[in-house]
Structure 1
Amino acid sequence: MSVSIARVPTQSASRYLQQLAKHWSHKMEVRFTQQEGRIAFPGGAVLEMRADSQTLDVALTVPEGGDVERMRDVVSSHLDRFAFREAPLTFDWVDA
């Protein structure tokens, strides 16, 4: 299992968290509030998000054998779409 985390600077973290959760809610298991969200992907990966006034913290867990880089790209590219006014967002992914 691989865990990647990123702290994304943005003053619109809560809005982006909610937009992403709603976007994927018709395909995946999604739970979210204004400050926290969890998205379970079909292949077993899980994205957890936490929003505050200055950052969106994301933690991406990918099962053994999963394509970590692809999943990072999926998450960052979707968030960039919602953040088109300030995109590209800064994702400094690190392994946890």
Structure 2
Amino acid sequence: MYAITARAETEFASKYLQQLCKHFAHKVPSTYDETSGKVEFPMGDCTMQATSGVLTVTCHSEERDGVTQMGQIIDKHLERFAWKEKLELTWENTESAVQEA
């Protein structure tokens, strides 16, 4: 399993979380409320958390390319939704492939 995580400091964390999840819900399963969300992309899942001033996004996939694709999708959409702030997410690997024994 591969995972990447990114954080963005913004006073509009909840707004962007809901906007992203609502947008993706038109094409893929998506659930959300004011503080958390989950989007089920074909290549894996993304979870989002909005806390006081911080949006955190974590993507999980069985394939390295899956997390890369999801990160690019989130970046592209957040760039459009948060254009006034010019938010940028810096993605970090948070897990590497786990081999089953």
Same fold (TM over 0.5): yes
Equivalent position of 2:55 in the other structure: 56
Report 1:11-90 matches (<5 A). Answer: 11-43=11-43, 45-64=44-63, 66-87=65-86, 89-90=87-88
Post-superposition offset of 1:65: 5.2
Correspondence 1:94 to 2:58:
no
Runs of 4+, deviation exceeding 4 Å: none
Q: Secondary structure at the match of 2:65?
A: coil
TM-score with structure 2 length normalisation? 0.85
Give 1 or 2 for the bigger CA radius of gyration.
2
In the alignment, which residue of structure 1 is the partner of 2:99? none
- Deviation for aligned residue 1:66: 3.1
Return 5+ residue gaps in structure 2 as ranges. 95-101
Identity of aligned residues (%): 36
| TM-score w.r.t. length of structure 1 | 0.89
CA contact (8 A) 1:9 1:90 kept: no
Taking the aligned partners of 1:84 and 1:90, their CA distance within structure 2 comes to 10
Alpha-carbon distance between aligned partners in 1 of 2:9 and 2:20, rounded to the nearest angstrom: 16
Distance in 2 between residues matched to 1:21 and 1:68, nearest whole Å: 17
C-alpha distance in structure 2 between counterparts of 1:22 and 1:75, whole Å? 13
Equivalent residue pairs, number: 94
Alpha-carbon RMSD across the aligned residues, in angstroms, is 1.3
CA distance in 2, matches of 1:6, 1:65: 16
Is the 2:79–2:88 contact (alpha carbons within 8 Å) kept by the matching residues of 1? no
